[in-house]
Structure 1
Amino acid sequence: MIVGLFLDAFIFNLIPSYSSAELPTAYIAQSDLLDSTPQLLDDIPALTHFYQGKEKSLYRRTIWIGPSGSFTPFHKDPYMGIYSQIVGRKRFHLLPPAASHYLDLSPIPRHANTSQIPVPVSRILSNGPSNEDLRDLPQGTIQKCKEQLAKAFSIPGACQIDVAAGDSVFIPEGWWHTAEGVDGPGVGVNAWFR
C-alpha cells in the first residue's frame, strides 16, 4: 500500500463514504522506511552513542505509524533499543526477562519471543466500557490474562511508560515490552543496537 493512501485512510480518515468506526485498525509497524528512503535520515540526528555497545553496531532503524489503539503484543528483542515518539502518544509496558512464564508465549519456534495475549494490556486491565468488544474471546481468556499480568507486573522492574512527542524510551535487551497508541494517531522511530 502506498504510504499516502494509508495515511489518508487510517490516520486522517479522508476516505469518503467510510467512517473511522467502519475501518479496521491498520498499523505500519517496524517498517524499514527510513532505510529505503535515505532523505528521511537527514531529519534524524546521528546516533553516535549507539556505537558504544559491545559490537559497536547500529542494527536497524524503523518507523511506526498508527492510529489510536494500534498495538504490538508483548515480545522481546535480541538487541537493546531506543524508541522515540515524533507525533502523538504511546504507552509502553516493560517486564523483566523473568516474566516469560506469565505471557502465554507462542508455541511456534520462530515466534517464541512473542506473547499470544490477544489485545492491548490497557484493555485487559480496564474495567470500562471499552471491553465491550472483548466478548468474542473465549470465556475466561481476559480473566486468565488479568491474573497472569498481575503476577508479571509484581516482578521488580516492571513498569508502564507513556511517551509523548519528543520523548524516548530505552528498552533493554531481552526485556518483554508492548506498545499501544493512545490519544490519536502517532508516529515514532526506533533503533536497535548491539
Structure 2
Amino acid sequence: MILPCAAVLFDVDGTLVDSTPLVERAAREWAAEYGIDADEFLSDAHGRRTSDRVADFLAPDQVREATARLDALETTGTDGITALPGAVEILADMNGLPHAFVTSMGRAQLAIRTTAAGVPVPPTVVTAEDVPDGKPDPSGYLRAAAHLGVDPADCVVIEDAPAGIAAGRAAGATVLAVATSHRLQALSAAHHTVQNLTHVATISSGLRLT
C-alpha cells in the first residue's frame, strides 16, 4: 500500500524511541512523593505532555513544581532507552521527504533520549514547550506542517498512542499508527496500522507499507 504525502510528521517516544523503563521508574518514585497511585497515573500518561497529566491529579498551584520534579527524575539516567525497530533505518533513508518530530517531551528530554537511542533528529522539531496545548490538541502537528511549508492534509502523522492519533486526525493529516506501545484495539482511530516501522519504507512521493 502506498500513502502519498508531502511530508512525514513523527511522534518520538513510543514511535521511534522506547524509554518505558526510565519513564515508569521515574513516575513511580514521583508518585510516591506526591501520594498518587502510580498505576493510575501511568494508565493515561503515554503520549501526553507531563504537565497535562500532572494537572489531572494536582491542584493548579502545584502543577509547575511537580512537573519540574518529574522531568528531573526522567533526566537522571538513560538505562533501558533504545531505538524501536525500523526507526533508525527509516530516518536514514527518507528519500528526500521533508519530515519533523512532534513530541510531548521537553527539548532536554528529547535530546537525551534520541542521543541514547542513536536516533537522528531532523532540523524541524516541535516539543512540549512550543505549543499552548499538548496532544490530543493538534497544535504541535499544525506547527510542524507550517514549519515545513506543507498543508497538514498532505502529511502522514506516525503515532503510537491514542492522544497522538487524535491530534493527527484533528490536524487533518493521514494517521499511521504503530502498535509498539498499545494493543491494536486502542489504535482503531488511525487510518492505517502496522506493527512497527520495519513495515514502512519511503519513496519520493510518500510511504510504502509492507
- Specify which structure has the higher proportion of strand: 1
- Specify which structure has the higher proportion of helix: 2
Task: Determine which structure has greater relative contact order: mean sequence separation of CA pairs < 8 Å that are 6+ residues apart, divided by chain length.
Answer: 1
Provide TM-score, normalisation by structure 1: 0.29
